[in-house]
Structure 1
Amino acid sequence: MSTVIEQALRARLVASAPRADVVPAVLRYDPADPFAVRMVFPAPATLDGAEAVWEFSRELLAAGTDAPAGVGDVRIRPFGHDRTAVELRAAEGVAVVHVRTGEVRRFLRRTEHVVPFGCEPLFLDLDRDLARLLRDAS
């Protein structure tokens, strides 16, 4: 059984208007998927009223707290003294949220206690994943 780590965040959604809405978000890490983190926005915080889940690498999140990182749908960079900007790109448009860097780093430290950086392959269950892949293919 794996221990899922969650960190609640107050994300500041940056809009083109001069104000920024605060929305709840959760960072989630499951050692069963050791390379990935998920940023979850509950249904009330989204435009279409459905929970939105963004999945990206834990390494990208860690790198983005210190320097700009990412070239695809998710880009992360430091913003000001104590914030990290997470840019999420989809067909519908681009959303930028600012989160407290300290909260992100606290989350990353908690994940590292469960799965140290660089040791992710040791936590993969390739037999389970292969069985699931073959089951889904039939």
Structure 2
Amino acid sequence: MSTVIEQAVQARLVASAPRMESVPATLHYDRREPFSVRIDFPAPATLEGTDVSWEFARRLLTEGVEEPAGSGDVRVRPYGYERTVLEFHAPEGIAMVHIRTGELRRFLERSEGLVPTGTEHLHLDLDEELADLLGGH
């Protein structure tokens, strides 16, 4: 069984202009890092012209499709019935994208199939993490 889930999604970049630009993004979940998810944006979709990734708690995404969640660098909230807003706060400013809620739910269901909520701790390799921390790897 694979330990990684990747799912391509279309994110709609929210800007001050009335038209929102669609940008590709990839949601990523790795059983070896069971508490977190990552979203990757390719260089053409970013202001810096470089690939950008944001990693945050899977629980934040799970809660955010239902109700506003998060108070730090990443915030997630429903936007109507069909979309969810992800806000990314950085020193350079705030980026907001809309993603279809159905796509996020499908991704979360797939991650649940790999690591059910509440069992994340069973998938941690604490010996490897400790060795990395102590410089033994």
TM-score bin, normalised by smaller chain: over 0.9
Shift of 1:19: 1.2
Report the TM-score when normalising by structure 2: 0.96
Supply the distance in 1 between the matched residues of 2:85 and 2:135 (Cα, whole angstroms).
Answer: 39
Supply the distance in 1 between the matched residues of 2:7 and 2:68 (Cα, whole angstroms).
Answer: 22
CA displacement, residues 35-92 of structure 1 (integer Å, 9 cap, x when unaligned): 0000100111111111100000000000000000000010000001200000110000
Which residue does 2:67 correspond to in 1? 67
Supply the distance in 2 between the matched residues of 1:126 and 1:2 (Cα, whole angstroms).
Answer: 20
Q: Could you tell me the percent identity over the aligned residues?
A: 61
Shift of 1:31: 0.6
Supply the distance in 1 between the matched residues of 2:2 and 2:103 (Cα, whole angstroms).
Answer: 22
Which residue does 1:28 correspond to in 2? 28
Supply the distance in 2 between the matched residues of 1:120 and 1:2 (Cα, whole angstroms).
Answer: 16
Supply the distance in 1 between the matched residues of 2:15 and 2:80 (Cα, whole angstroms).
Answer: 17
Report the TM-score when normalising by structure 1: 0.96
Supply the distance in 1 between the matched residues of 2:111 and 2:85 (Cα, whole angstroms).
Answer: 20
Amino acid at match of 2:68: P
Shift of 1:2: 5.3
Which residue does 1:51 correspond to in 2? 51
Supply the distance in 1 between the matched residues of 2:18 and 2:2 (Cα, whole angstroms).
Answer: 43
CA displacement, residues 8-57 of structure 1 (integer Å, 9 cap, x when unaligned): 00000000111111000011000100000001001111111111000000
For the aligned residue pairs, the C-alpha RMSD in angstroms reads: 1.4
Supply the distance in 2 between the matched residues of 1:116 and 1:7 (Cα, whole angstroms).
Answer: 18
Supply the distance in 2 between the matched residues of 1:49 and 1:98 (Cα, whole angstroms).
Answer: 20
1:39–1:115 CA distance, 2 compared to 1 (3 A): same
- Aligned residues, how many? 137
CA displacement, residues 84-110 of structure 1 (integer Å, 9 cap, x when unaligned): 000110000001100000000000000
Assess if the C-alpha contact under 8 Å between 1:65 and 1:77 holds in 2.
yes
Supply the distance in 2 between the matched residues of 1:122 and 1:18 (Cα, whole angstroms).
Answer: 47
Q: Which runs of 5+ in 2 are unaligned?
A: none
Assess if the C-alpha contact under 8 Å between 1:76 and 1:87 holds in 2.
yes
For residues 1-138 of structure 1, the aligned pairs below 5 Å read 3-135=3-135
